[in-house]
Structure formats: C-alpha cells, structure tokens
Amino acid sequence: MANSINRRSWIKSTAILAGGTAFFSGAITKLAAMPKKIQQSVLNDRFADKAAVLNSPPVMKARLLANENPFGPSATVKKAIQQSLDSSYQYPFMHMKELTGKIAAYEGVQESNLLMDAGSSPILLASAMFYGKGGAEIITADPSYNSLPSDAAALGATWVKVPLTADYKLDLDAMEAKITAKTGLVYICNPNNPTGTVLDTEKLKAFCERVSKKVPVFVDEAYIDYLPDPQAASMISLVKAGHNIIVARTFSKLYGFAGLRCGYVIAQPEAVKDLMKYSVGNMSISAPTVAAAIAGYQEKAFLQDALKKTLASKEFLYTVLKKEGYDYIPSSANFVMFQIRMEGSRFASEMSNRGVGVRFWKFNDKDWCRVSIGTMEEMQLFADAFKQIS
Ligand SMILES: Cc1ncc(COP(=O)(O)O)c(C=O)c1O
C-alpha cells in the first residue's frame, strides 16, 4: 500500500517536473515498475544535465539554450491545433493512423518500421532500457547528445565514450574499434549535438552497413532537417535495405514542435517491437499534436523559410564571434559551439544575468559555450551581452 502511494506520488511529481507535459510519458509506466533507487538515479542524471534548461527563468530575453526553432510552429500548424480542440475529448486513433501513413509514405517504409511517441526522448529512453540491458556497453562519441547513454548507464549499462577527431567530428574508426562481445548499441548523433558537425554521408553509410552486422546502430537525426538534402543524408535508406539500424527523428527542431512533443524512430519491425515493450508509443501523443503534425509534416515553404532565417541568424553570429576574436566550430545545425575564455558556468551565469540563456561544456580541457540560433533580435541580444563579458 505504502509502496503504491509512493509510486503514484513519484509519477505525479515526475509529470509536474516535466512541465505537466507528456515528456516522459512514453516510459513512465515502465519506470514506475523499477526499484526506487534506479528511478531516482535516472531522473537525477537527466536533470543534472538539463539543469540549465529546467532552472531557466520562464521569461528570458533570448532563450538560446535548448536548440528550439523560434520561427515555428507554422501558421498552418497553429490553425490545425485550434481546429482539433473541439474533438479533443476523443482519442486520436484514426488521426494517428493518418499521420503514421503520411510519414511511412514519404520515407518509403512500412508502418511496421515506425514507432512514434511524444518526442524522440521517450524512445531514446526505451532504447537505453532495451539495448543497455544486462550491463551491455553503449558506445558513443564524446561529447555528444547524452540522453540515451546516460539513462542506460543509470540503469547499469557501461557507457563507452570515444573522443572526437581533431576537427570535432565523430571518430567512426575509433568507435568501431571499441566494439566488443558486450556491446549492446552504437549511438551516432548526426549532425552531432553539441558540436554541430556532420559526417560524410558515404562514410557513415559504409560504417553503418559494416557495424550493424555486428551490433545495432542508433542514428539520432534530430538535426538532419537543417541539412540541404535531409533524405539523401539520412540512414533510413539502410533500414529499407534491411540493416539493423534505428533512425530517430523529431518534430522538435526545424518544425518548431518542442513544446508540442512528437517524434519517431524508423527501424526493422523486430526492433520496433522490442522498443514498444518499453514505451507507450502512439497513446502518448495528444490529439492537438497529432493534428499539428499531420498539417505540418513536410510543409516545404515553412521549413525552407525557417531554414533561411536560421542561416541568416547563424551568419550574423559567426560575424560577431569573428569580430570579437573567437574561433567557432562551423555548424550544420541550429546551434554553434565556440571556445570561451572563462569557466563555463560563470560564462553562462554572466550571460543569464543579461537575459541570455546559453549552455556550457568542458572537453579537451577547454571551456565551451553552445549557443542556439534564435531570431535576429535574439542574436543581437546575445551579441550585446557577449561583447560586455568577452
Ligand atoms: C540529438 C537530440 N536528440 C534528441 C533530442 C530530444 O528531442 P525531443 O524529445 O524533443 O524529440 C534532442 C533535444 O535537444 C537532441 O538534441
């Protein structure tokens, strides 16, 4: 009895912490069944990394810390959300079918290849649970997006971190060399968060083809929509060719859906079935979000416009950094990483005191700032604050 009350209050507090959204809903059921110690360590780890985001004031002059797209969602999407409200007392089963059909048709896959959830985060967590089972090794680049490996490590997996190459790209050869009989998954983030670097498509394809014969390869393509030809750069073609590759996509970035929560993976039907055991899937996605995603999926004019504005803001940022004498890593995504000349947390709090939210990292024994690309006004605010402390 006491246990079930604790469990219920844990679920409730988790939901509140996540902003009352379905952020973790894809995994709550399974997490709730875990021993308390593990639940806590999963959450602590996630929140430690996201502290800058979760503790940020609700109103910030320039919110450049979570790689969101301030140009979205589109007008079409907002209209679809409004129109969906009257029938939002109904479960969106049929609409969900329309959405999965649309995505599967565009990508040329079967619906059995597709698993959707409230953002890609719940599926990353499901993957951490499934592929990290039994203390398996999860190989990632370092630094890279750490959601999946840190959750896996909190649940008992071994996180094998492989440094980047000298030009801040994923070191595929070194990652491949780390594969052992205990490897459960290789996680590739392309373009990589937080460096914004992108791998050569043919080199990555060859790597995935080879490596996936030994262990599954997870390719997180959260930022692929920022590349000139996302379909050509995607590893979905290898899923279609039958390789054991799991490709994750999200509507949170170029589509501007971070607060709406919609994402998916495309993988072999067996892998989809495995991950379904650890996620709630379709039932996590709200009717307004389903309507939004149907209306906005591949809305070319909006996507191209958001991309154009992002590129203009990014060029402006490059000019500011150059003028102040700072080097940066050229980015293929909606954020830029550059080396700073003071301790990272101090830099972030100096910027925050000036109303500008950014993130900081330490690697190669150096301090780095990652700044997301916002509107031109936000980049100007960044520039004004940065000039004061640089
Ligand atoms: C590489 C990468 N993958 C996945 C996510 C999670 O995105 P979401 O859960 O909003 O789909 C993020 C969020 O920043 C990310 O940077």
Structure confidence by residue, pLDDT tens digits, 260-287? 999 999 999 999 999 999 999 999 999 9
Residues whose beta carbon lies within 6 Å of some atom of ligand 1: 67, 119-121, 145, 189, 193, 220, 222, 250, 252, 258, 263
Q: How confident is the model at residue 5 (pLDDT cuts 50, 70, 90)?
A: very low
Tell me if 360 sits within 8 A of 340, measured CB to CB.
Answer: yes
Choose one of 189, 250, 337, 359 to mutate for the ligand 1 pocket test, by most ligand atoms within 8 angstroms of C-beta.
Answer: 250
User: Other CB atoms closer than 10 Å to residue 163's CB: what's the count?
Assistant: 13
Per-residue pLDDT tens over the stretch 349-390: 999 999 999 999 999 999 999 999 999 999 999 999 999 999
Q: pLDDT, tens digit, for every residue of 87-124?
A: 999 999 999 999 999 999 999 999 999 999 999 999 99
Say if residue 38's pLDDT is above 60.
no
Structure tokens at 376: 């031109």
- Placement of tokens 């959204």 in the chain: 21
What residues does CATH 3.40.640.10 cover in the chain? Answer: 75-296
The region that residue 134 occupies, defined by phi over 0 for left and psi between -120 and 50 for alpha, beta otherwise, is left
DSSP code for 281:
G
Query: Quick one: fold of 75-296?
Result: Aspartate Aminotransferase; domain 2 (3.40.640)
Grouping H, G, I as helix, E, B as strand and the rest as coil, residue 163 is: strand
Cβ–Cβ under 8 Å, residues 287 and 87: yes
Report the topology of domain 54-72+300-389.
Aspartate Aminotransferase, domain 1 (3.90.1150)
Task: Give distance in angstroms: CA of 106 to centre of ligand 1.
Answer: 22
User: Any idea which residue has 């990508």 for tokens?
Assistant: 107
Closest CA to 81 of 281, 262, 250, 224: 262
pLDDT interval class at 60 (50, 70, 90): confident
Q: How confident is the model at residue 307 (pLDDT cuts 50, 70, 90)?
A: very high
Average pLDDT, rounded, for the chain: 89
121 C-alpha to ligand 1 centroid (Å): 6
**Portions of the chain given CATH number 3.90.1150.10:** 54-72+300-389
